[in-house]
């Protein structure tokens, strides 16, 4: 698929270095836009695209840049001069509302539309609406073999001026997909993913939750209640699990807990082969080690563990304190589960903010935004039994 048209000046070499030729092309485009604007009083992106042979996405970036320098005023579909008094006689501004400025749409690819990600999408939609952007949403899957076809379909839409994506980083094609994303003539923000490209490890712009910090919050909370053996149970094949496990290990070291004296295991998804056996093995190990508290990723795994524990005569929280990770439905359970809650809506808003900033200033340094989760203390954590 070819995205760049004549005169776009797309940068290669990882998308981070801007060549002298690209800068010259950009300067010529912007001079042409200003020339047309001072001649006609108003310009429309659709007209400029046809006359200059440049994509609408590139022209939106140029207009955003010129707007930032105060040389024009961005409006929906084009631009006008900074103030009406500078218009040539008889020329009227575009007959459309100038606020909010319309930059196009952000193409958004998430791995699930029914777990974790809906709140991320809602946050993105809220921020996009405030910034004059639309959201074009597509769903992939955690087991996707290749996310590139879905991303290419989003780019085929002429309204798309940037991508917000959570591609699989474990798929065989992951490295090639990230490399390709770094070279396209469209800004990209990764969500809940971090990546670098090239021999110099150039950073791909991203927004992530600090899941390790969230896990550490849970361990510190349990240790403050007096628990000296705090286990961890993570979900197999989840991209979040390694971060949760790292945070648990770090917090054990900080609080003087021995990670080798308790439960440290990963379990399959609920309902899959081996699930019931895995639950019983976790509970057997908890009993054998005298563990009195456990951090479980995610909510469904935590709720199933509590139910199985009660079937075996272990009451929560009096006999076992449990902290869930994700807080999708943990508050609805009985007892309501203490849980770590990633700031999902804030993640979506921050991703759109990064994309809008990149559209306004294509030359700014790559940003990585890390957002802290919060701990919601409820009825599933109490001091350990005497």
Residue pair 112/328 in contact by the 8 Å Cβ criterion: no
Residue pair 150/140 in contact by the 8 Å Cβ criterion: yes
What CA–CA distance (Å, rounded) separates 98 from 138?
29
Domain locations in the chain? 13-86, 104-209+345-370, 211-343
Residue pair 321/227 in contact by the 8 Å Cβ criterion: yes
Q: 336: how many CB neighbours lie within 10 A of its CB? A: 15
Longest alpha-carbon distance in the chain: 88
What CA–CA distance (Å, rounded) separates 186 from 60?
11
Q: Which helix (H) or strand (E) holds 105?
A: strand 104-110
**CATH class for domain 211-343?**
alpha beta
Angle, helices 275-289 vs 299-311, to 10°: value is 70
What CA–CA distance (Å, rounded) separates 236 from 214?
18
pLDDT value, residue 3: 38
Residue pair 10/180 in contact by the 8 Å Cβ criterion: no
Tokens describing residue 336: 């309501």
pLDDT value, residue 53: 86
pLDDT value, residue 351: 97
What CA–CA distance (Å, rounded) separates 314 from 147?
44
- DSSP code for 156: T
Summarised one tens digit per residue, pLDDT across range 333-370 is: 999 999 999 999 999 999 999 999 998 898 899 999 99
Burial of 128 from C-beta contacts in 10 A (0-12 / 13-18 / 19+): buried
Q: Do domains 104-209+345-370 and 211-343 have the same CATH topology?
A: yes
Angle, helices 45-52 vs 56-68, to 10°: value is 120
Low-confidence ranges of the chain (pLDDT < 70): 1-19, 83-103, 141-144
Q: Which CATH architecture has domain 13-86?
A: Orthogonal Bundle (1.10)
Which single residue is written with the structure tokens 């550490």? 216
Burial of 118 from C-beta contacts in 10 A (0-12 / 13-18 / 19+): middle
Reply yes or no: is the peptide bond before residue 317 cis, omega within 30 of 0: yes
pLDDT value, residue 185: 87
Residue pair 315/289 in contact by the 8 Å Cβ criterion: no
> Over the range 345-384, which residues count as b (16 or more CB within 10 Å of their CB) and which as e?
bbbbbbbbbbbbbbbbebeeebeeeebebebbebebbbeb
Tell the CATH topology of 104-209+345-370.
Answer: Rossmann fold (3.40.50)
């Amino acid at each position: 698929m070819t995205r760049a048209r004549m005169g776009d000046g797309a940068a290669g070499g990882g998308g981070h270095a801007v060549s002298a030729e690209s800068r010259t092309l950009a300067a010529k485009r912007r001079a042409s836009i200003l020339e047309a604007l001072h001649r006609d009083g108003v310009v429309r992106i659709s007209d400029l695209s046809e006359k200059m042979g440049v994509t609408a996405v590139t022209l939106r970036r140029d207009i955003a840049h010129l707007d930032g320098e105060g040389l024009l005023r961005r409006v929906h579909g084009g631009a006008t001069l900074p103030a009406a008094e500078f218009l040539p006689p008889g020329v009227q501004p575009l007959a459309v509302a100038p606020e909010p400025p319309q930059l196009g749409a952000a193409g958004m690819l998430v791995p699930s539309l029914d777990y974790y990600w809906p709140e991320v999408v809602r946050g993105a939609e809220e921020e996009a609406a405030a910034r004059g952007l639309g959201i074009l949403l597509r769903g992939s899957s955690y087991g996707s073999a290749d996310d590139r076809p879905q991303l290419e379909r989003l780019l085929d839409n002429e309204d798309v001026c940037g991508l917000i994506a959570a591609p699989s980083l474990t798929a065989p094609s992951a490295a090639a997909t990230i490399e390709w994303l770094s070279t396209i003539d469209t800004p990209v923000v990764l969500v809940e993913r971090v990546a670098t490209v090239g021999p110099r490890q150039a950073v791909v712009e991203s927004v992530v939750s600090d899941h390790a910090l969230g896990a550490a919050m849970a361990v510190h909370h349990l240790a403050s209640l007096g628990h000296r053996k705090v286990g961890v149970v993570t979900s197999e094949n989840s991209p979040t699990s390694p971060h949760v496990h790292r945070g648990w290990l770090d917090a054990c070291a900080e609080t003087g807990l021995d990670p080798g004296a308790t439960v440290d295991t990963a379990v399959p998804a609920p309902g899959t082969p081996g699930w019931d056996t895995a639950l019983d093995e976790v509970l057997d190990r908890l009993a054998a080690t005298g563990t009195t508290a456990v951090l479980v990723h995610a909510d469904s795994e935590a709720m199933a563990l509590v139910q199985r524990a009660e079937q075996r005569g272990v009451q929560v929280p009096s006999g076992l304190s449990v902290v869930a990770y994700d807080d999708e439905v943990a508050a609805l359970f009985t007892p309501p589960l203490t849980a770590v809650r990633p700031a999902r809506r804030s993640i979506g808003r921050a991703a759109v903010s990064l994309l809008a900033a990149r559209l306004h200033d294509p030359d700014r340094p790559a940003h990585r935004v890390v957002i802290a989760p919060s701990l919601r203390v409820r009825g599933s954590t109490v001091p350990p039994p005497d």
